[in-house]
Structure formats: C-alpha cells, structure tokens
Chain A
Amino acid sequence: MSAQDQISAAARATARDATFARPKFVLIAAGWLVLASLPFWAGAYNIATIRDVLLFGLFALSLDFLWGRTGILSFGHAAFFGLGAYGMAIVTIKLGLDPASASLLGLLGGTGLAMLAALVVGYFLIFSGVRGTYLTIVTLALTVIAQHIAIGWSEVTGGDSGLIGVPPLTFELFGWRYALSDPSQFYWFVLLLASIILLVLWRVLSGRYGHILTAIEDNELRARTIGHHTDRHLLTVFVVSAGIAGLAGAIYATGTGFVAPDMIGLMLSTEVIMWVAVGGRGTLVGPFIGAFVVWWLQQKISSIDTKLWPMFIGLFFIAMVFLFPNGVMSLGERGRQLRARLWRRA
C-alpha cells in the first residue's frame, strides 16, 4: 500500500465516520419513538418492567457521567441510588404526611440525602487528593457500610425485609392533585424525565465544560496549572452524579412500592458498572442500552435455567471487555476494525 493510498484510505474513513454518525442518531430517535409508543401496544406488566429498566438506565447514566467523563470509577454507586430509595420510603411511610407533600419531600429528601452523602465523602476524599483506585476502594466501602446500616437499623429501615407501602408519586399544583398511579402515565413521566436529564447532560458535556472534564481526566496537574480548580469540578460532578442516582432510586421505590437492602448494596453497585461498560463508557446513551441489553439477556437465560445467569453474566462481561471495550455503542466501528484485522492476517 503506497503512502498515497494510505492517505486516501484515511480520508475515506473520516468521511465514513461522518456518514455513520447520522444513522446512529436516527437509530436513537427511532428507539425513543418505540419507547414512547410502548403503552399503546404493550401490556401493563411490560410497561412497568421497561419503566424500571429506564430507571436503572438513568442510574447507569449517573455513573457514566462520573466514570465516563472524569475517569473516577465509583464502585459504590448503589449507595446513592439506595439513599434515594430509602429516603423516599422513610419520608412517605414513617412521617405520616399527606400524599402530595410526602411525595415531594420524599423526592427532595432522597435526592438530597444522596447528594449530601456524596458531598461529605467527596469533599474529604477529593480535596485531600485521593484519586484513582484509592477513591474507588473508598466508594466500595461506602456501599458496604450503607447496606449494613440498611439491615441493622431496623426501626427506621425495616432491616432485612425493608419497608413496604411506598405510595405512587403524587403531585399537587394549585389545589389540583394528581397521583401517578396509572402505569402508562407513570411510564411516560419516567421516560420524559430520563430524556430531559440525558439531553441536558449531553448538551453540557459536548461544550467547553465537557472538554475541561476531559482535560482533567487526561492530566489533572496540567489542568490546574492553567487555572482550573479541579477539586471543585470533580466534587461537583460527583455530587450531581449522586443526585441523579438518588433521584432514580427515589422514583424506583414509588414504582415498586417497597425498598429492600439489595437496592443499596454491593451487588447493585457491581451491576450498574456492567450496564455502563456494556453500553459504552462515556457515551451517555449507552448506559440505557446497556441496562436494557443486560436485562433482556437475564430474561432469556434465566428462563432456560436460573442457575445459568450468574455464570453467563461473568463470562459475558469478560467477553465484552475483550471484544468491545467501548461498549455496544461502538459495535459498528469495532466490527469494521476486527474485520480489517482478520483481512490483513489472511
């Protein structure tokens, strides 16, 4: 291959990337329309299931915002999801308020609790220069501690069995009360909320702020010497990420009607990392796709034999990391790469 050929091949590759960026966008829009029309053709059970998958996707998005954009891997993100869920449950069940104020206070309380925890833990870690693996290990401890509290402090959290009876989300505007007890309406509310958060994050991160975060991940010392208060940027992302996770958790609890210690523990913390990894770290849309793909595989495989699932998911995860390190969002490009490699070898 002459140098000339290489240059024209590179030019064709860039042109191809530009044309492929469009279909990806069209696909996402089509996927969204399918999701939006779901209540018209799917049964109530499926609507509720996909709603939960969307909430898990929102939770995964919160981790992707942190991990994909700053490189900080939180191994305890379920702690924030769980704080949101438990916050909602405790406010609505234990305080005896009227439904509308309980819902609002539960949302604010759950989300606020998650953000406060992230603020306190994040402040002491990030501002004292803890980074990388060390930070990950502390977040791992965080989720373990949170789960222990959820199990141990049974007067408040209900212990092992959790709390049952979280009412549906209820809003009150100018004396007009509205409970999201209809599955379709609740589903649309979740879809709309997830879409708005996704769009806002995407918009913010594709601008200069996203570049600053990339710069911090690339070389934090350098970012600081050009005048960026990197500790504050990282803490902001950590707290906002925890807030989104907490919000997802709080709404999830109103959907299922109960909270249990597995919503705050290590297992869920591991799963959310997998959703992001499968969907593609740093892609923002990927986490939703990842949550969906993993959930769908779980349905299919558990229906053959429930014992197969844990074994499969381990192998699947390893295979994903080796074959598609950038997640399913990169399937197209990665497929071309692998094909080109085989071609050269032949």
Chain B
Amino acid sequence: MTTGTPLLDARALQRRFGGLTAIRDVSLTVERQETKCIIGPNGAGKSTFLNLLCGTLRPTAGQIVFDGIDVTGMPLHRIARIGIARKFQVPSVFGRLTVRQNLSVAEIGTAHDGKAPNTVAEILHKLDLTEIADRSAGDLAHGQKQWLEIGMAMMTNPKLLLLDEPTAGMTVEESLKTAELLRTACADIAVIAIEHDMRFVRALDCHTVVLHQGALIAEGPFADIEANPMVRDVYLGRQ
C-alpha cells in the first residue's frame, strides 16, 4: 500500500492553447478521502485543470501521479478504470436509458483497496434515487440529473471523484442537498470540486485552492481563504 504518499500528485502542470497559457505551473496534492475545492473567477483555468487531471486534455508540461502510477497521457477509459471518476459540468446522463440502466452501464465491477464494489441498489439508496429508478433519465429534473451523474461516477468505484461545478443551475435547497449527499455518499473517497457557489463551498468547508489567470495564488482552509485580502481582491470582489 502506498500510505504516506498522497493519492494524487499533480506536479508543475502546464497547458498552452496556441499562444495562451491556460494553466501555468500548478501543483496540487490530494490525500486519500480528502475533499478539496478549487475556486477562481471565470477563465481562471479551473475546468482546464480538471480536464488535465481526468485525461480529457493532455498537459503541455508536468506530470500527474495517481496512487503511484504515472497517468499523464493515459487513455480515458483506463484512467476511469484505475479509479478517477468525473462528473461533467453540463449534466451528461444517457437520456434514452432509465436511471437504473444508467447506473448499470457505469458499473465497472473492480473495487479498490479490498472494498466491495458499489451496487446499483446501494447507489440508488445513497443518492436518494430509488423512487425514480425506472424513469427515463432524459425526463429528469436538472438537479436529479446531477445527482444521477454523481451516482454514475460512484458506480465506477473511484478513489478520486472530480466534480465540475456540481451545483451549476441548482436552487439553493438543491445545492445544500448536493453538499449533504457528497458528505454522506462520498465520505470514503477523495473529492475535488470546482465551484462558483460560495454557499456550497462554505457548506463543504474544506481545503480550498484559488486559481487566477491559470496560476495557483492561494490555498488553505476555506475560512482563511475567505479572509485572505488578495483572494478577496481578485475573486470575491473588494467590498
């Protein structure tokens, strides 16, 4: 076992799009079962950074080590299989399948660290989806789609769950419910969430990283970040 070393170790990641450097020299580590939030203004490079971590984009420079394995440039389906799951910003459930079938399709069946793999029934229960299990996913309300997607990510038995704005377009109650679901359903795995909604980040109350113009400018507990004058300046706005 690789206890002692972090679960995810992203070293000096850089990503350029033509002349634009979207991510410059960002390093981030995540421990097992740790939750981290990434915040930052629009265009700060948050989504790009998440795309690098889950393999949708390749870094121009830098290295990503996950659980002792170098995953830089690994194909998407293999990254998924070694335990990195991702929830997209726009809900992307399979609309022609039912909720239950969506979860079943995402069932990979290989659990890590000697744990029993998640079953469809368990995830339905944990994410409060049992009542709508046989509805077509295309007909769900926005919030339900988001929760189903978190459920699909959980079905792959991840060690690390990447969430891209999990509460985008949600009502206040739905956002708070999402924070609650994450705390209960994803308690035993590491989570990285990108978020705009400060209420949600406050509700999660976790280690927070601030990106600005592609660079990491501050990190620490959310309370410290909220009080940091530089962060207030670039992001929260001077009041």
Contacts and interface: CB of A to CB of B under 8 A. Distances in A.
B154 to A, nearest CB: 10
Nearest to B101: A211
Contact of B106 (A214, A221, A226, A229): A226
B92 A222 contact: yes
Interface of A: 208, 211-212, 214-215, 218-219, 221-230
Interface stretch (B5-13, B32-40, B60-68, B81-89): B81-89
A221 B89 CA distance: 13
Interface of B: 54, 56, 76-77, 80-81, 85-86, 88, 92-97, 101-102, 104-106, 108, 152-153, 155-156
B108 A226 contact: yes
Contact of B77 (A211, A214, A228): A228
24 contacts: A211-B101, A211-B104, A212-B105, A214-B96, A215-B94, A215-B105, A219-B92, A219-B94, A221-B92, A222-B93, A222-B94, A223-B94, A223-B105, A224-B80, A225-B80, A225-B88, A226-B105, A226-B106, A226-B156, A227-B81, A227-B108, A228-B77, A228-B105, A229-B77
A227 B77 contact: yes
The 7 closest A-B pairs by CB, nearest first: A227-B80, A226-B106, A218-B94, A224-B76, A215-B94, A222-B92, A227-B108
Contact of B97 (A215, A226, A228): A215
A90 to B, nearest CB: 40
A226 B88 contact: no
A223 B80 CA distance: 10
A93 B133 CA distance: 58
Nearest to B138: A218
B79 to A, nearest CB: 8
Contacts of B102: 215
A211 B104 CA distance: 9
Contacts of A219: 92, 94
Nearest to A213: B105
Nearest to A232: B77
Contacts of B108: 226-227
A202 B76 CA distance: 30
Contacts of A218: 94-97
Which of B54, B81, B93, B105 has the most A CB atoms < 10 Å from its CB? B105
